Amino acid sequence: MKKYILYLFVLPLLSQCSQESPAPEIVEPPTDVFEQPSEPITDPPTTNTNRSNILFIIADDLGVDAVPRYPFGEQKPHMPTLERLMDEGIRFTNVWTNPVCSPTRAAILTGRYGFRTGVLNAEDAGRINPSEQTIHRSLNELNDSPYQTSIVGKWHLSARNSPNVPQEMGIGYYAGLYTGGVESYDNWSLNINGQSTNQTSYITSALTDLAIEWINEQESPWFCWLAYNAPHTPFHLPPANLHNQGDLPNDESSIEANPLPYYLAMVESLDHEINRLFTSVNSTTLADTVIVFLGDNGSPGQVVQPPFSNGKAKGSLYQGGVHVPMVISGAGVSRQGVTEDALITNVDLYNTFLEIAGLEVQDQLDSQSFYPLFQNSNTGQRRYNYTEVLSSRPNRSGYTIGNEQYKLMVFDNGNQALYRYDIDPDQTNDLLENTLDGEASAAYEALVSEANRIRN
């Protein structure tokens, strides 16, 4: 039986704002949308021999504070689709990405840290070298029967005048937003395999349409990376049938004064459209699909919720900038309705994708597969999470490394900070400001040693 893998990257939480006008009705996903295969895997094979299709959905600017069932943030969006995925699969609690989008995407695409690829921010160090070996190219070159591959949605890894880079990097079909964002969700440029046209359809729905069309055309194993740009700015009120935030005022001054409900409405529209994708794909295909949902970095400072704070959100190495939601469900995922605390960094998705597809992992990469966690707990490989960013602000630029309790931040200006982030998530108590006790001292030495090993 062919197995299909659907990867989802989800964006920030939607807040519960009370309104006098009744909220539009949100249709709950049918109970059979996430039907499991008739012969689920119960034991982790030494080598996965399934031919799995992969759909990878990534949300733009969505941290753990903006997602249901994560113990951060007070206002949560209505996300029945994502919560259904949690019920049918695994909610991961210790996933780190880069603080901004381009390095996160490059790390997933290549399985390599940013200091190796040179992609360390979304500006001057945000362009990927087309010679990099992508997961798409590996799914072709490592297989006797090549996968059909695509990226639908946000790219943001190349210059505007280089529209053919996705094809040069082995991505069979590219359709989406080539730049980092749009000025309007209703007026944007669609790039399809290097050709651009102006679009006036709502972009979250338009990207969903493109993914549905491509997936339904496939007759052999496929990998579709669906990269929504929601809920990235500009904050706005989506079409009423796509969210549950009610009849909010739609003028710029109201949005600027309180952007959170609009951000949450954008997250809800994402959840709504993901459900529409599920109901529009052949049910047999969906039953043979593994679904992975991920945010690309933390929530923006304008809308980040406690315990995280503005200045320690998107763009920063603090937890508010790098701690993101990830949910995995579907074929081959025998653990259902569970949380998983294993350490995972976004770079690890590369080798995990390969294992899902029945291929050997590439040990020369930074990526560490967590595929065994689909069936068994206590099988995580990673002992330390690591991520980095390059910034013009020297007190932001640098790297961070952490274990389950302690997190070391090393900045390019020479400053360091150590936090017990499991009990201090906003990282307000720098342990290096005082004499370290024995446990903290040992943790500091171990983190320094591992960082040196990684970077050297």
* Residue 441 DSSP SS3: helix
202 located within any domain = yes
Q: Is the dihedral of CA 411, 414, 419, 425 positive or negative?
A: negative
Instruction: Report whether pLDDT(247) > 80.
Output: yes
pLDDT at 436: 97
Q: Is 132 found in the same domain as 40?
A: yes
Check whether residue 71 and residue 110 sit in a common domain.
Answer: yes
The residues with which 225 forms a beta bridge, in sequence order, are 56, 151
pLDDT at 195 over 80: yes
What does the pLDDT look like over 333-381, one tens digit per residue?
A: 999 999 999 999 999 999 999 999 999 999 999 999 999 999 999 888 8
Query: Are 345 and 407 in a shared domain?
Result: no
224 and 82 assigned to the same domain: yes
Are 150 and 174 contacting, i.e. CB atoms less than 8 angstroms apart? yes
Tokens (6 digits) for 70: 């994560």
Residue 135 lies in a domain: yes
108 within 8 A of 347, measured Cβ to Cβ: yes
Asked if residue 445 and residue 357 are part of one domain, the reply reads no
Q: Exposed, middle or buried, 446 (CB in 10 Å: 0-12/13-18/19+)?
A: middle
pLDDT score of 113: 98
339 forms beta bridges with: 91
Give the pairing of strands 344-345 and 385-389. unpaired
CATH of the domain at 297: 3.40.720.10
Lowest mean pLDDT across 16-25, 75-84, 212-221: 16-25
pLDDT of residue 232: 98
Question: Is 306 among the domain residues?
Answer: yes
Q: Is 407 exposed, middle or buried (0-12, 13-18, 19+ CB in 10 A)?
A: buried
Q: How confident is the model at residue 31 (pLDDT cuts 50, 70, 90)?
A: very low
Beta bridge partners of 95: 324, 344
264-306 pLDDT tens trace: 999 999 999 999 999 999 988 988 889 999 999 999 999 999 9
- In a shared domain, residues 299 and 419: no
Q: Are 376 and 406 within one domain?
A: no
Q: Same structural domain for residues 112 and 159?
A: yes
Whether 313 and 409 map to the same domain: the answer is: no
pLDDT tens readout for residues 402-452:
999 999 999 999 999 999 999 999 999 999 999 999 999 999 999 999 999
Domain boundary among 383, 415, 439: 383
Is position 394 within any domain? no
Domain boundary among 383, 412, 431: 383
**pLDDT value for 378:** 86
**Residue 3 pLDDT greater than 80, yes or no:** no
Do 378 and 436 fall within a single domain? no
| Higher per-residue pLDDT: 23 or 54 | 54
In tens, the pLDDT along 123-150 reads 999 999 999 999 999 998 887 778 899 9
Measured between alpha carbons, how far is 43 from 40 in angstroms, rounded to an integer?
A: 9
* Statement to judge: residues 379 and 404 lie in one domain: no
Query: Given a cut of 70, is residue 182 above it in pLDDT?
Result: yes
Total domains in the chain come to: 2
Determine which of 41-55, 200-214, 327-341, 352-366 has the lowest per-residue pLDDT on average: 41-55
Residue 6 in this model has a pLDDT that exceeds 50:
no
pLDDT value at residue 77: 98
Tell whether 166 is covered by a domain: yes
* Structural domain containing residue 335: 3-383
Task: Name the residue with tokens 């689920």.
Answer: 40
Does 374 share its domain with 405?
Answer: no
